[in-house]
Chain A
Amino acid sequence: MGDKLTLSLTVLLTGFAVVFAVLLILIGIIKLYGTIIYNIQNKGHKKKKDSPTAKVAAQTDKVMEPVLTVEADPETDDDELIAVISAAVYSMYSSKVQIKSIRKAKPASNAWRNAGLSNLRPF
């Protein structure tokens, strides 16, 4: 009984400490290099960001601009599509928003897409 308790508590304590220690070190390093890289890249060229998350953010920023022109890309010049997208944007961001342009996003791999495809994934 005593042995079992000692073993259990040793494993609990070691496991807890090691898992947290390793992940805390990772937090520190990732924060550090993340800040450095982010600052360097932001100074250099503010708009040139190429990660999928950046694209989403950049597009949202554009959408939020209160400009009153509605322009559509010739390729996606489809009244219904514009109506649907406008409705979706309106429902999320209220009436302050006007659509300036609609462009087809490049099929990049990101977490949203992964989540959508997850039915095809074994894990």
Chain B
Amino acid sequence: MDIWNGFVEALKGLLEQSGFLSLSWQNYVMMAIACFLMFLAIKKQYEPLLLLPIAFGMLLVNLYPDIMGAPNINLVEIASVNDPAAKGHVIREIGEKIYYEDPTYGGLLYYLYQGVKLGIYPPLIFLGIGCMTDFGPLIANPKSFILGAAAQIGIFITFIGAIFLGFTQAQAGAIGIIGGADGPTAIYVTSKLAPELLGPIAVAAYSYMALVPIIQPPIMKLLTTKKERSVVMAQLRPVSKLEKIMFPVIVVIICAIALPSAAPLVGMLMLGNIFKESGVVERISKTAQNELMNIITIFLGVTVGATATGTVFLTPKTLGIIALGLFAFCMGTAFGVLFGKIMYKLSGGKVNPLIGSAGVSAVPMAARVANKVGQEENPGNFLLMHAMGPNVAGVIGSAVAAGVLMSILG
């Protein structure tokens, strides 16, 4: 009989622990959203390298919220210091009473999440991106920096929108940075300014980056004439190895002196780039852009997804963030193209304004979109290399914009 009672008790215990009783309806809605995001990642291949871990992290945390649980210390009251239950524990005396400390440990993803919370993962991802980025087109045509800067205006305009929609200034800064179209930068800024919004902002940022080929072309076509879109640009001048090696050093010196808060992002990006361009540390460069970056991507994706619990995600604020993020993206594209038009006028028709849209970063997708829209007018027109200039300038530009936001609002 004892065995039977034990069996029933054990089953009861398991049932009470199981999700059937402890999960709320929000958790189930989030699981459905997670499955939908997984569908987008696998079937539609929308940024699968990040969306898939994010979606699965979301699924995990809503199935088992304690996986993100923080470590805790419970105080258990005891009668005397010699109580056998307190053996091996730290004893505390508060007033008349004696307690022993009973620590509980955090969940798996809680510990991995510290890399996001403390701002460690995004700069490490930048290190890998630096190893993969060729700044040659930007060095050959430094004016591209103007387009990379222009596309950041969307960030600051969205900030205004977010302030007036009732977000705090720190939250508004984090939402605006979605317009930088740079995943690691968005996560870095959000983790510093408004960590509570990390889930919705990461999902919005990566979704829009995946949707660049759908969002950008209508804006680009709306703002340019057929003649402007057909401009064939002169071939870029060759860039020497010495110039490429000096570039990261110069950029990091200028950016870090002018804006120290941008130093972690820009510094890591340029460290990676000098690994690549110097050509003497190929092993390190390969590791940074492959193994290290893949490992960090897994941790970053899963833990960012795991911040999206039902109670945090399913609020009207999330809809606001998603709408503002789209607005930020569109404004960034529009200002890039408009400045491209100014350059078109000033250069006497030598610059194709379409390359301005690539200033929103989202490397290299935005550059490919500029190339594609250009080829719709003239199939023999290859804008890709010209668009890569503003594209990589946009990465530096959004890191600088992030530095501005963090120093004003942080």
Contacts and interface: CB of A to CB of B under 8 A. Distances in A.
Interface string A10-48: 111011101111111111011101100110010000000
Contacts of A24: 145-146, 149
Interface string B20-62: 0000000000000000000000000001011000000000000
Contacts of B182: 123
B409 to A, nearest CB: 8
B238 interface: yes
B71 interface: no
A68 interface: no
A37 to B, nearest CB: 5
Contacts of B157: 12
A20 to B, nearest CB: 5
A4 B164 contact: yes
A11 B193 CA distance: 15
A123 B125 contact: yes
Interface residues of A, number: 48
Contact of A123 (B139, B160, B173, B363): B363
B368 A115 contact: yes
A27 B145 contact: yes
A92 B380 contact: yes
A22 B259 contact: yes
Given A4-B164, A112-B384, A118-B364, A22 B400 contact: yes
B99 to A, nearest CB: 47
Q: Majority SS of interface residues in chain B?
A: helix
Contacts of A101: none
Contacts of A26: 142, 145, 250-251, 254, 396
B220 interface: no
Contacts of B142: 26-27, 30-31, 34
Interface string B221-251: 0000000000000011111111110110011
Contacts of B353: none
Interface in A47-87: 49-54, 57-58, 60
Interface residues of B, number: 74
Nearest to B391: A111
Given A18-B258, A27-B145, A111-B134, A53 B293 contact: no
A59 to B, nearest CB: 11
B123 interface: no
Nearest to A21: B258
Contacts of A54: 238-240
Interface string B172-194: 01000000001110000000000
A60 to B, nearest CB: 8
Given A14-B404, A51-B136, A57 B243 contact: no
A12 B259 contact: no
11 contacts: A11-B159, A11-B169, A12-B156, A26-B142, A27-B143, A27-B145, A34-B139, A34-B140, A34-B239, A60-B235, A121-B132
Interface of A: 4, 7-12, 14-16, 18-27, 29-31, 33-34, 37-38, 41, 49-54, 57-58, 60, 92, 109-112, 114-115, 118, 121-123
Interface of B: 47, 49-50, 125, 129, 132-134, 136-140, 142-143, 145-146, 148-149, 152-153, 155-157, 159-160, 163-164, 169, 173, 182-184, 209, 235-244, 246-247, 250-251, 254-255, 258-259, 276, 293, 297, 362-365, 367-368, 380, 384-385, 388, 393, 396-397, 400-401, 404-405, 408-409
Given A22-B255, A41-B242, A114-B133, 13 more contacts: A11-B408, A22-B254, A23-B145, A26-B396, A27-B142, A27-B143, A30-B142, A51-B241, A51-B243, A53-B236, A114-B132, A121-B132, A122-B297
